[in-house]
Amino acid sequence: MAMSSLRQASRVLVRSRVARTLTRSATTSAFHSTPPADPTSSADASQSLAAHYFPTEPDMPRLMTSFPGPKSVEKLNSLDKVYDTQAAYMVCDYQNSVGNYICDADQNLYLDVYAQIASIPLGYNNPVLMTAAQSPEMIDAIVNRPALGTFPSTLWEQILREGILSAAPKGFDKVWTSMSGSDANECAYKAAFMYHRAKQRGKTSEFSDLERQTTMENASPGSPDLAILSFDKAFHGRLFGSLSTTRSNPIHKLDIPAFKWPKAPFPALKYPLDQYETENRAEEDRCLTALETILQEWESRISAVVVEPIQSEGGDNHATPYFFQQLRALTKLHGILLIVDEVQTGVAATGMFWAHEHWNLDTPPDLVTFSKKFQAAGYYYANDDLRPNLPFRQFNTWCGDPSKAIIAREIVKEVRAHDLVTRTRQVGGYLYEHLAELQSRFPHLMQNLRGKDRGTFIAWDATDSQTRNMLLKDMKGAGINIGGCGTHSVRMRPGMPFFSRLSQ
């Protein structure tokens, strides 16, 4: 497509509708009413949540310059001398950001429906989190940062129980904390490998001399030839181990040595899902058959299958509950662990606190990883056998970060106090309906709208990657910060205060 038509196509969407639909979602209804005396305990709390949180939040983006603004450009050029800014869109002024609005160096305020790659849960400068950040407990956690594996604090159990563990998916009662989503996945993989080898050893928990020797040579049997299976277009992180399960984009992987682990096809479904049930079922069965063939070929060398409930970085690719139920059945049949990577889908984003709750599984997954909107990272588990037999096998100096676990606890409390899971569902429904209208009016510009009944986890396809990139830029020019994923998709990942503005 010629540049002029690209620009025109992008602007049709930006000016005419998308920006307006998003802004309206963030401002719909009576959310500037007076907050109740105790907004966290009142039945009216949700009605006044935005006012309670962000009384100074504007109703519309505020644009002072074109995008990117001159100060952003100047600061990026200067920063680039000491720090790689190739991926940076703009320089931000976080102190002047508020709620749903991100402020840049030029004091432009953008409605932010991308929220730091899906990782700001309760808006910028959220007062509840700011208060927690100044508590004696937080100061202690930051200044006296503990090596949690060896010297956990007297407060650690309570912080976990009241926060991360109180939000554990059904069937889970234990957690191992880590530093990031990639780290959470890698720790889960290590737990799976150690579990696998412990089962093979049976009653003997002793390592043989040969194992001890060979592992120091990175050779089998001490460093066994085991694998984690992932899916085509999956994203599970960028550290060495997790990168071998990431399959979304060559740029993430080039030049980095990788494990030769298997990859199964992920269903390429047609949207809207409810209009293509027969075709989609056939596609999911095709992928399940291919998966089963790989599991058989690898015999007993696959320790776990890792899967995202909705493939996010790889393009917001959905599968139905049927697919995941069959996947669970297959992993059980083959004695393989199932790791569900909820790093991006977790913490209310899809209209359930955990996205895999949409699947109604007979038995829960074996491990569930989290990070991003939870701020704290790690994995949940239930089976004691997933804990290694000896200390220092699943370990590093910090083993997580109590300051992040304190923030996670406040996030859980806020989600509950204001029923933000329900609100995500409501706003998601509103958004999806209005975006579907736009898609029907501009079918050449918007295709494959997806995320119906999945909260605000909504995406669509642009015509091609150039048009998509142009749209993302033009949306910023119109005051909306929105993200991309896959080769040519546009994705929404707003924070939860966005949800708070929809009336009951």
CB 238, min distance to ligand AKG, A: 5
Residue 228 has phi, psi (to 5 degrees) of -110, 125
Q: Catalytic annotation on 40? A: no
Binding to ligand AKG by residue 457, rule CB under 6 A?
A: no
Binding to ligand AKG by residue 239, rule CB under 6 A?
A: no
**Which residues from 311-330 bind ligand AKG, rule CB under 6 A?**
312-313
Q: Beta strands 227-231 and 263-264: pairing type? A: parallel
Among 73, 117, 330, 436, binds ligand NCCCC(=O)O (CB under 6 A): 117
Question: Residue 410: in which H helix or E strand, if any?
Answer: helix 402-417
* 3-class SS letters over 361-392: CCCCCCEEEECHHHCCEEEEECCHHHCCCCCC
Q: Beta strands 101-103 and 109-112: pairing type? A: antiparallel
**Which residues from 256-315 bind ligand AKG, rule CB under 6 A?**
312-313
CB 52, min distance to ligand NCCCC(=O)O, A: 30
As a whole number of angstroms, the longest Cα–Cα distance in the chain is 71
In this structure, are residues 480 and 24 in contact, taking their beta carbons and an 8 Å threshold?
Answer: no
In this structure, are residues 399 and 147 in contact, taking their beta carbons and an 8 Å threshold?
Answer: yes
**Interface pattern 61-100 for ligand NCCCC(=O)O (x via CB under 6 A):** ----------------------------------------
CA–CA gap between residue 59 and residue 482 (Å, rounded)? 17
In which residue are the tokens 């040519």 written? Answer: 488
* 3-class SS letters over 474-501: HHHHCCEECEEECCCEEECCCCCHHHHC
Q: Catalytic annotation on 397? A: yes
In this structure, are residues 63 and 103 in contact, taking their beta carbons and an 8 Å threshold?
Answer: no
Q: Catalytic annotation on 260? A: no
Q: Verify cis geometry, omega within 30 degrees of 0, for the bond prior to 68.
A: yes
CB 487, min distance to ligand NCCCC(=O)O, A: 12
Binding to ligand AKG by residue 344, rule CB under 6 A?
A: yes
Residue nearest to ligand NCCCC(=O)O (CB): 313
CB 95, min distance to ligand AKG, A: 24
CA–CA gap between residue 198 and residue 207 (Å, rounded)? 10
Q: Which is nearer to ligand NCCCC(=O)O, 222 or 451 (CB)?
A: 451
CB 313, min distance to ligand AKG, A: 3
Which of ligand NCCCC(=O)O, ligand AKG, none does 238 bind, CB closer than 5 to 8 A by kind?
A: ligand AKG
Binding to ligand NCCCC(=O)O by residue 112, rule CB under 6 A?
A: no
In this structure, are residues 458 and 498 in contact, taking their beta carbons and an 8 Å threshold?
Answer: no
Residue nearest to ligand AKG (CB): 313
CB 357, min distance to ligand NCCCC(=O)O, A: 25
**Interface pattern 417-446 for ligand AKG (x via CB under 6 A):** ------------------------------
Please give the order of strands across the beta sheet that includes 483-485: 447-450, 459-461, 489-491, 483-485
For every residue of 286-319, DSSP letters joined together read: HHHHHHHHHHHHTTT-EEEEEE-SSBTTTT-B--
Q: Which of 71, 75, 233, 372 is catalytic?
A: 372
Binding to ligand AKG by residue 238, rule CB under 6 A?
A: yes
In this structure, are residues 346 and 372 in contact, taking their beta carbons and an 8 Å threshold?
Answer: yes
Q: Catalytic annotation on 341? A: yes
**Closest residue by Cα to residue 102 from 151, 155, 53, 62:** 62
Q: Which of 67, 235, 370, 374 is catalytic?
A: 235
For every residue of 76-90, DSSP letters joined together read: HHHHTTTS--TT---
**Which residues from 268-327 bind ligand NCCCC(=O)O, rule CB under 6 A?**
313
Which of ligand NCCCC(=O)O, ligand AKG, none does 307 bind, CB closer than 5 to 8 A by kind?
A: none
Q: Which of 28, 34, 131, 397 is catalytic?
A: 397
Binding to ligand AKG by residue 246, rule CB under 6 A?
A: no
Among 12, 88, 117, 239, binds ligand AKG (CB under 6 A): 117
The DSSP letter of residue 223 is: S
**Interface pattern 167-196 for ligand AKG (x via CB under 6 A):** --------------x---------------
CB 89, min distance to ligand NCCCC(=O)O, A: 7
Q: Which is nearer to ligand NCCCC(=O)O, 313 or 410 (CB)?
A: 313
**Closest residue by Cα to residue 109 from 126, 97, 125:** 97
**Closest residue by Cα to residue 369 from 184, 149, 109:** 184
Q: Which is nearer to ligand NCCCC(=O)O, 48 or 116 (CB)?
A: 116
Q: Which is nearer to ligand AKG, 280 or 371 (CB)?
A: 371
Count of residues in contact with ligand NCCCC(=O)O, rule CB under 6 A = 4
CA–CA gap between residue 494 and residue 502 (Å, rounded)? 14
User: Catalytic residue positions?
Assistant: 235, 341, 372, 397
Residues of this chain that interact with ligand NCCCC(=O)O (CB under 6 A) are 117, 313, 483-484
Residues of this chain that interact with ligand AKG (CB under 6 A) are 117, 181, 235, 238, 312-313, 344, 485
